[in-house]
A and B are shown apart, each in its own frame.
Chain A
């Protein structure tokens, strides 16, 4: 079973600081998102069971070192990697991302299963897998916590809160996975060294037969800040017991308690 795993490199969230309510991403290194690593691991596990080839497909999106960072996917076990890097894709919307990925999947050709993380660690829109499935006209299963190959189909299990749902889709299909699906392995030094000689291609939009105009964002995200909450700045004096009483009374007054 030939599998394409779509991975995105995100700014390392641990390294992002917030200054004046804006994320400072300058000098912040990028890395492949955790959920994408789950998808990669799922692909490597499926290959172990069903054979075939695993290709990591990465959209650079503003990361000028994407071709370097994607090597982690190769070290984790992908057989080859493709990076789509084009200045026109510096800040694409989800539609543009899906269009580019779908074109790349077509160009890769052999693809029985297309895997995604359920969302990316930065924007977490969770749209791209579904959009690519629509563009390619493939069946899709979202939020899988278990994936196995069954004959010419893929069987997935997903949690619906009070029950587990088992779904099957004929191949080729698109599946997005959740973090419970596995524990991604951390590649050892030998795997990292071997990754160096695995095939890695960088494609521009022209290579995919697309032009920038087709991918111009149709919507602009003006702001995605969380709502700011004013603090009450109430200080309580007195003994611990008095403070506790005053605190509880204040909570009741605010309607937080005793509704």
Chain B
């Protein structure tokens, strides 16, 4: 059997980040990517938080092909025809090195794959891996078609579906309950129109999330990110909720209806839909993170369940890149010690636990449970809208004072046993 030092299964951000670290240190690396090119199969909302990962591979992040630095953050709660938006545009979001950028994965991943190639790794697109080879419990290589290639370590970054790792018993099979379906359109609009509509300085971007009626009470929400000359508009809906819905609506219908809303229509007016894509998203939180390393393998990125939907911040790509970095460091350590066993690779999990990746997931441990509370997507968006709408409403009757109007709303919608319970369950998010 042909042998290489390291095989990376999956040429997404986690796999490429691992390969970049390994190849930079002179290790022999082969990245196997199922798509026509890196990024071909990836979908993101998407925004990449660059600040957390700047210290890994600092030479990369100033030249990466981003779309726009996010200068303006918006969250809209929508119910019963009322949209309430909280908005913040802070100097700190973009000063110096911006904290996050909107991205399109086809460009970003292809660029990173090229960088990995320049470091001497072999990136093979169009290569579907059929099996992770195991011998006496140790991962010894991969099989692609009829070809078996051995490796001292396999970095499994095959993405959310875990097709290979679950079959090989390294991870559990993904369950609908712990996943969401994300789907989006890329809608082309001229740069000037984008900057006018979202009130942006030239080159700057906005990130806009929506909760409430858009998902018809199902767990999830809609998102809108501004790219250079397009917007990414889509939705994320809990897979279980989607599966159990009774009204027969399809995912794409939700998005179509959303685009037709009088509050949304002017945002997309005149745009041309250039792309449509969908993907599953791990949302199980830290309780669904599998064993991260074993004899002859490590698991990174979405395969390791490293993503975090914290309602107003949605992360995954930064975790993927960080996990790839730590995987590479652990493998290099193992190489130096000549020990690719679980013990030799143990520093991978240790460094993830020390880093923001598993710490932030730990902090957010209760979020997946909180998100299962349907009131989050029905009652609260409606209550907030009702409260503010009453404050702003003038009719032909004598008006109560503003504080009285608001207090009425608070008493009606926020002071029940259920809401107090909700507040208690949310105290840790």
Contacts and interface: CB of A to CB of B under 8 A. Distances in A.
A139 interface: no
A107 interface: no
Interface string B82-107: 00000000000000000000000011
A188 B106 contact: no
Nearest to A12: B36
B36 A192 contact: no
B145 A193 contact: no
Interface in A163-215: 186, 188-190, 192-193, 196
A192 B126 CA distance: 11
Interface in B112-147: 114, 117, 122, 124, 126-127, 144-147
A17 B149 contact: no
Contacts of B122: 193, 196
Contacts of B126: 186
Given A17-B274, A29-B37, A189 B106 contact: no
Given A190-B147, A196-B122, A29 B127 contact: no
A68 B118 CA distance: 11
A27 B37 CA distance: 11
A27 B230 CA distance: 15
A190 B147 CA distance: 6
- Of A27, A189, A193, the most chain B CB neighbours within 10 A belong to A189
Nearest to B7: A189
A193 B145 CA distance: 14
Contacts of A27: 106-107, 110
A19 interface: yes
Contacts of A188: 144-147
Nearest to B188: A19
Q: How large is the interface on A (under 10, 10 to 19, 20 to 34, 35 or more residues)?
A: 10 to 19
A68 B37 CA distance: 13
Nearest to A26: B107
A186 B128 CA distance: 12
Contacts of B107: 27
B117 A189 contact: no
B149 to A, nearest CB: 6
A189 B110 contact: no
B354 interface: no
Interface string B5-31: 000000000000000000000000010
Contacts of B117: 68
B10 to A, nearest CB: 15
Interface string B142-178: 0011110100000000000000000000000000000
Contacts of B37: 29
A190 B2 CA distance: 8
Contacts of B127: 189, 192
Given A27-B107, A27-B110, A189 B36 contact: no
B308 interface: no
B334 interface: no
Contact of B149 (A12, A68, A193, A196): A193
Contacts of A14: 36
Nearest to A64: B114
A12 B32 CA distance: 20
Interface in A1-20: 12, 14-15, 17, 19
Contacts of B110: 27, 29
Contacts of A15: 36
B275 to A, nearest CB: 8
A29 B39 CA distance: 11
Nearest to B142: A189
B40 to A, nearest CB: 9
A65 B111 CA distance: 12
Nearest to A196: B122
Nearest to B32: A189
Contacts of A189: 32, 124, 127, 144-145, 147, 149
A193 B2 contact: yes
B146 to A, nearest CB: 6
Contacts of A65: 114
A17 to B, nearest CB: 6
A188 to B, nearest CB: 5
Interface in A84-115: none
B64 to A, nearest CB: 13
A196 B284 CA distance: 41
B387 to A, nearest CB: 45
Contacts of B146: 188
A29 B107 CA distance: 10
Contacts of B272: 19
A29 B33 CA distance: 15
B11 to A, nearest CB: 13
Given A189-B32, A190-B2, A193-B122, 17 more contacts: A19-B188, A19-B274, A27-B107, A29-B36, A29-B37, A65-B114, A68-B117, A186-B126, A188-B144, A189-B127, A189-B149, A190-B149, A192-B124, A192-B127, A193-B30, A193-B149, A196-B122
The 4 nearest A-B residue pairs measured at CB: A189-B147, A190-B147, A189-B144, A188-B147
Interface of B: 2, 30, 32, 36-37, 106-107, 110, 114, 117, 122, 124, 126-127, 144-147, 149, 188, 272, 274
24 contacts: A12-B36, A17-B274, A19-B188, A27-B106, A27-B110, A29-B36, A29-B37, A29-B110, A68-B117, A186-B126, A188-B146, A188-B147, A189-B124, A189-B145, A189-B147, A189-B149, A190-B2, A190-B147, A190-B149, A192-B124, A193-B2, A193-B30, A193-B122, A196-B122
